[in-house]
């Protein structure tokens, strides 16, 4: 087997690979990030690279125009190398890590709850973390009292802290005698409340949690007592450092989920996990991202890593499987069964997390293959499970999750909306980072657009919340009709025929400084319509299953980082969210991270989280005929059934069409 060298530019990283390796595989091995939204199947056309020198074979190069091909552009996933080659990765195909997901400010319009208030959504929970530290002075052994070192420590914990029925980690037992003697019998014990025994009995929840001793340190270190909580998103990882003495959040950090290099969504990652060593690579990759966050958090806050004693993570079911190392294979195949919904706590270093060896990772329980711990965590954070009000909880994303219910019952479903709301599936789509079009307005006089981007830099593309605004504006001005088709009678040169059919030029190449005009096509609009139709049909179906309608809802909670940046009125205008009283809507931002924080601060909420996971009834919509009917009916603006959107319909009627 001949070996050749691939050099990636502009990063100037070289790697030796076997002749016949794809450029994408080589980039993965070299740690060079190339967007590959479809996991390397040649379907998304995002992994464009330029072969600057050397011989390659690209006989099945798929989704690429003849002109681009002539200019040396190739899809990295479909190009195999035959000789030493140099490959240039275009700027748009590299992950933008300069603009972290923190770059935007959440809307503050009264309905968007600010972080200080969020804790108040949940009530009745007192401050009682699962993780506790106890300073204890142990009687040194004498001939008349020479029971084991462990016994005397347990005795002291009982006498001084009324702590009993405690278990001990075996690794700690191996060090116990030496630590106690070195510390001259004054030590600090760290315990975590566990219910390992019954935790997995998904049908029962019996027996109280018992403390497990995980660390014994010399002296009194009770003053330094920290925990890190994570939201493991398919796209982004978020971490928070908590002070368990003061319940303060000492810092927040975020990273892209490095698994993106193996596929944009959970399905492509499951596909990748089935390759040889795939599951391990996906696990190492997310753990690598979490480690960056851990390092950033402790460094910024000036906290010693050894005093971080616990990690809690919430993520969707696939993310949870990949994190702890369970094979997600059957989540993808009908009838969509996960290995488990409850995950036993595992030692964090076992999966490579860069924390002290005694730290355990607690992973939020899931409900079903497509309703994960992130949703359970969000429902907890929203407090909807505690209140009598009938509530609809929506997490909008590639996979949209919906929960309806109240203190008495909870039903849930998920629907695949496609990646449009995360910028995927759009010709010029991108994630919500610097340069993404965020706000959009049409000048009534000139029909010229006004564009505002995240970070106020030159427009690079369209993110999900921007696309909603564009669509609503197009509809209101009549640039598109209710079917999402461009109105060719409009007096603007921006509507034109492109390679993919009709398109609207948002920004000309001279304006963007890139090599192409930035457009939104009819195909893009159709994808957005399908995405919003799926979300709305999911809500309809779930409500219908319990004999309810939108007007019965007393509260609608929008979760997810994306939700935080949505313009509510525009989202209702396009028919993504129901046309009901606006004051019923509450935006809670990253509910998954918030819930992870709450269960770290309160044992009672930790119990609640597990109860919620058990209590939620999952309805499978993917092959439901009623769902399909409603989905098709929703591919219209705002909806084929105008009576569902009375206020929007009325406004559209009254609005003066500009063309």
Name the one range near a second copy by CB under 8 A: 14-22, 258-266, 618-626, 643-651. Answer: 618-626
CB 591 within 8 A of CB 560: yes
Closer residue to a second copy in complex, CB, 201/223: 201
Residue 18 main-chain phi, psi, to 5 deg: -70, 140
Residue 84 or 620 with smaller CB distance to a second copy: 620
The interface with a second copy within residues 364-393 (CB under 8 A) comprises 366, 368-369
Residue in the structure block whose two tokens are 């462990």: 150
The three state secondary structure string of 491-550 is CCCCEEEECCEEEEEEECHHHHCCCCCEEEEHHHHHHHHHHHHHHHHHHHHHHHHCCCCH
Q: Does 167 bind a second copy (CB under 8 A)?
A: yes
- Give the CA distances from residue 233 to residues 238, 475, 559, in Å, rounded to whole numbers and listed in that order: 8, 32, 13
Does position 99 bind a second copy by CB under 8 A?
no
Q: What angle in degrees, to the nearest 10, is found between the helix axes of 317-324 and 278-301? A: 90
Q: Please give the residues from 310 up to 369 whose contact with a second copy meets the rule CB under 8 A.
A: 324-327, 329-330, 334-342, 344, 346, 366, 368-369
Q: Could you give the CA distance from residue 490 to residue 507 in angstroms, rounded to a whole number?
A: 18
> For the chain, how are helix, strand and coil distributed in percent, rounded to 5?
35, 25, 40
**In angstroms, what is the minimal distance from the CB of 429 to a second copy?**
32
Q: Does 144 bind a second copy (CB under 8 A)?
A: yes
Shortest separation between residue 177's beta carbon and a second copy, angstroms: 5
Q: How far is CA 252 from the centre of its chain?
A: 15
300: which 2 tokens? 């910024």
Determine the Cα–Cα distance for residues 76 and 350; give it in Å rounded to an integer: 34
**CB of 369: closest distance to a second copy in angstroms?**
7
Return the range that interacts with a second copy (CB under 8 A); candidates 177-185, 291-299, 493-501, 543-551: 177-185
Structure-token match 């990748």, residue found: 272
Site string for a second copy, 187-206 (x = CB under 8 A): -------x-xxxxxxxxx-x
Q: Which stretch binds a second copy (CB under 8 A): 26-34, 99-107, 138-146, 489-497?
A: 138-146
Q: Report the nearest approach of a second copy to the CB of residue 394 (Å).
A: 22
- What is the nearest approach in angstroms of a second copy to the Cβ of residue 326? 6
Residue in 27, 30, 88, 77 with CA at minimum distance from that of residue 54 = 88
At closest approach, how far in Å is the CB of 213 from a second copy?
9
Instruction: Write down the residue that tokens 């007096």 correspond to.
Output: 491
- Residue 525 CA to chain centroid, in angstroms? 24
When asked if residue 142 is in the footprint of a second copy (CB under 8 A), the reply is yes
Residue (6 or 314) nearer to a second copy, CB: 314
3 state SS for 23-47: HHHHHHHHCCCCCCCCCCCCCCCCC
In the complex, the smallest distance separating the C-beta of residue 184 from a second copy, rounded to whole angstroms, is: 14
Tokens standing for 14? 């070289």
Residue closer to a second copy, measured from CB, 260 or 320: 320
Q: Which stretch binds a second copy (CB under 8 A): 69-77, 162-170, 508-516, 643-651?
A: 162-170
CB 313 within 8 A of CB 363: yes
Residue 367 or 566: which CB sits closer to a second copy? 367
Conformational region of residue 501, where left means phi above 0, alpha means psi within -120 to 50, and beta covers everything else: left
Cis peptide before 638 (omega within 30 of 0): yes
Q: Which of residues 204-233 bind a second copy (CB under 8 A)?
A: 204, 206-207, 210, 212
Among the candidate windows 82-90, 507-515, 516-524, 617-625, which touches a second copy by CB under 8 A?
A: 617-625
Q: Which is closer to a second copy, CB of 293 or CB of 320?
A: 320
Contact pick of 164, 248, 443, 552 for a second copy (by CB under 8 A)? 164
Site for a second copy in 436-475 (CB under 8 A): none
306 binds a second copy (CB under 8 A): no
Number of residues that bind a second copy (CB under 8 A): 65
d(CA 287, CA 291) in angstroms, rounded, equals 6
Which long-range contacts does 581-585 make (Cβ < 8 Å, 24+ apart)?
A: 582/111, 583/111, 584/553, 584/554, 584/555, 584/556, 585/111, 585/556, 585/557, 585/558
Output 288 or 325, the one with its CB closest to a second copy: 325
**CA angle at 591 for the pair 402 and 409, rounded to the nearest 5°:** 45
Among 18, 173, 450, 452, binds a second copy (CB under 8 A): 173
Q: How far apart are CB 140 and a second copy at their closest, in Å?
A: 9
Count CB atoms within 10 A of the CB of residue 340. 16
Assign 202 to helix, strand or coil: coil
Query: In Å, how far from its chain's centre is CA 266?
Result: 10
**In the complex with a second copy, which residue's Cβ is closer, 145 or 184?**
145
Alpha-helical segments (H) within 138-187: 149-161, 170-182
Q: Which residue stretch of 152-160, 267-275, 443-451, 524-532 sits at the interface with a second copy (rule: CB under 8 A)?
A: 152-160
Stretch that binds a second copy, among 95-103, 174-182, 442-450, 501-509 (CB under 8 A): 174-182
Return the closest-CA partner of residue 592 out of 381, 422, 365: 381
**Sole binder of a second copy in the list 162, 165, 489, 643 (CB under 8 A):** 165
Based on the shown chain and the rule CB under 8 A, indicate whether residue 159 belongs to the binding site for a second copy.
Answer: no
With binding defined as CB under 8 A, does residue 651 bind a second copy?
Answer: no
Which CB, 617 or 649, lies closer to a second copy? 617
Q: Which is nearer to a second copy, 169 or 255 (CB)?
A: 169
574, 409 Cβ separation under 8 angstroms: no
Q: Is 146 helix (H, G, I), strand (E, B) or coil?
A: coil
Which of 7, 80, 88, 149 lies at the binding interface for a second copy (CB under 8 A)?
Answer: 149
CB of 538 vs a second copy, minimal distance in Å: 16
Q: Strand runs (DSSP E) across 417-517, as ranges? A: 436-442, 449-453, 461-462, 495-498, 501-507
Q: Which of 181, 275, 497, 657 binds a second copy (CB under 8 A)?
A: 181
Q: Which is nearer to a second copy, 18 or 171 (CB)?
A: 171
Q: Which two tokens stand for residue 209?
A: 């949690």
Q: Which lies closer to a second copy via its Cβ, residue 213 or residue 635?
A: 213
Can you give the length of the chain in residues? 659
**Beta strands 555-559 and 391-395, pairing class:** parallel
User: For residues 81 and 534, which CB has a smaller minimum distance to a second copy in the complex?
Assistant: 534
Q: Return the DSSP state at 445.
A: T
Task: Report, in Å, the least distance between residue 324 CB and a second copy.
Answer: 8
Binding residues for a second copy (CB under 8 A): 141-152, 154-155, 158, 164-168, 170, 173-174, 176-178, 181, 194, 196-204, 206-207, 210, 212, 324-327, 329-330, 334-342, 344, 346, 366, 368-369, 618, 620, 622-623
């Amino acid at each position: 087997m001949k070996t050749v060298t691939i050099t990636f530019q502009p990063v100037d990283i070289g790697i030796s690979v076997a002749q016949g390796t794809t450029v994408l595989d080589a980039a993965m091995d070299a740690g060079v990030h190339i967007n590959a939204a479809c996991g390397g199947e040649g379907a998304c056309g995002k992994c464009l690279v330029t072969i600057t020198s050397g011989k390659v074979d690209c006989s099945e190069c798929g989704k690429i125009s003849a002109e681009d091909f002539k200019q040396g552009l190739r899809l990295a996933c479909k190009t195999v190398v035959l000789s030493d080659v140099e490959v240039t990765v275009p700027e748009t195909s590299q992950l933008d890590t300069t603009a972290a997901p923190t770059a935007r400010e959440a809307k503050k319009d009264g309905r968007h709850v600010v972080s200080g208030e969020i804790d108040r959504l949940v009530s009745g929970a007192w401050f009682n973390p699962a993780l506790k530290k106890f300073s204890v002075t142990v009687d040194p052994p004498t001939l008349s009292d020479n029971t084991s070192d462990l016994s005397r420590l347990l005795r002291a914990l009982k006498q001084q802290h009324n702590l009993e029925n405690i278990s001990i980690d075996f690794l700690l037992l191996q060090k116990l005698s030496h630590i106690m003697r070195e510390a001259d019998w004054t030590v600090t014990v760290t315990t975590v409340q566990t219910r390992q025994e019954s935790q997995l009995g998904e049908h029962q929840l019996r027996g109280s949690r018992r403390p497990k001793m995980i660390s014994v340190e010399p002296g009194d270190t009770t003053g330094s007592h920290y925990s890190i909580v994570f939201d493991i998103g398919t796209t982004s990882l978020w971490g928070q450092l908590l002070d368990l003495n003061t319940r303060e959040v000492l810092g927040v950090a975020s990273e892209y989920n490095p698994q993106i290099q193996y596929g944009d969504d959970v399905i492509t990652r499951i596909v990748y996990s089935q390759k040889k060593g795939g599951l391990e690579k996906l696990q190492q990759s997310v753990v690598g991202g979490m480690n960056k966050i851990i390092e950033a958090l402790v460094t910024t806050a000036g906290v010693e890593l050894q005093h971080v004693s616990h990690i809690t993570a919430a993520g969707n079911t696939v993310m949870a499987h990949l994190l702890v190392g369970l094979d997600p294979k059957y989540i993808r195949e009908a009838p969509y069964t996960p290995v488990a919904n409850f995950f036993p706590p595992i030692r964090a270093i076992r999966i490579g997390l860069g924390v002290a060896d005694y730290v355990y990772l607690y992973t939020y329980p899931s409900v079903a293959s497509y309703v994960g711990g992130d949703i359970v965590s969000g429902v907890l954070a929203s407090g909807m499970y505690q209140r009598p009000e009938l509530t609809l909880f929506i997490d909008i994303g590639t996979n949209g999750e919906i929960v309806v219910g109240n203190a008495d019952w909870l039903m849930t479903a998920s629907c695949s909306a496609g990646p449009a709301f995360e910028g995927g599936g759009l010709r010029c789509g991108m994630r919500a980072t610097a340069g993404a079009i965020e706000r959009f307005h049409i000048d009534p006089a000139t029909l010229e657009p006004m564009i505002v981007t995240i970070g106020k830099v030159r427009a690079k593309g369209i993110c999900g919340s921007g696309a909603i605004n564009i669509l609503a504006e197009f509809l209101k001005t009549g640039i598109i009709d209710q079917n999402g088709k461009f109105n060719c009678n409009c007096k603007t040169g921006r509507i034109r025929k492109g390679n993919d059919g009709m398109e609207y030029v948002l920004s000309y190449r001279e304006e963007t400084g890139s090599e192409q005009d930035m457009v939104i096509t009819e195909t893009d609009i159709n994808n957005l319509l399908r995405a919003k139709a799926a979300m709305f049909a999911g809500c309809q179906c779930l409500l219908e299953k319990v004999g309810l309608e939108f007007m019965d809802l007393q509260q609608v909670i929008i979760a997810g980082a994306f939700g935080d940046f949505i313009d509510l009125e525009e989202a209702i205008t396009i028919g993504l969210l129901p046309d009901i009283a606006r004051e019923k809507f509450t935006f809670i931002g990253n509910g998954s991270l918030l819930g992870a924080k709450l269960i770290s601060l309160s044992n009672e909420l930790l119990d609640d989280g597990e109860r919620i996971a058990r209590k939620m009834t999952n309805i499978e919509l993917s092959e439901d005929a009623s769902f399909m009917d409603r989905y098709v009916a929703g591919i219209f603006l705002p909806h084929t059934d105008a009576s569902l959107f009375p206020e929007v319909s009325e406004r559209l009627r009254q609005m003066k069409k500009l063309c």
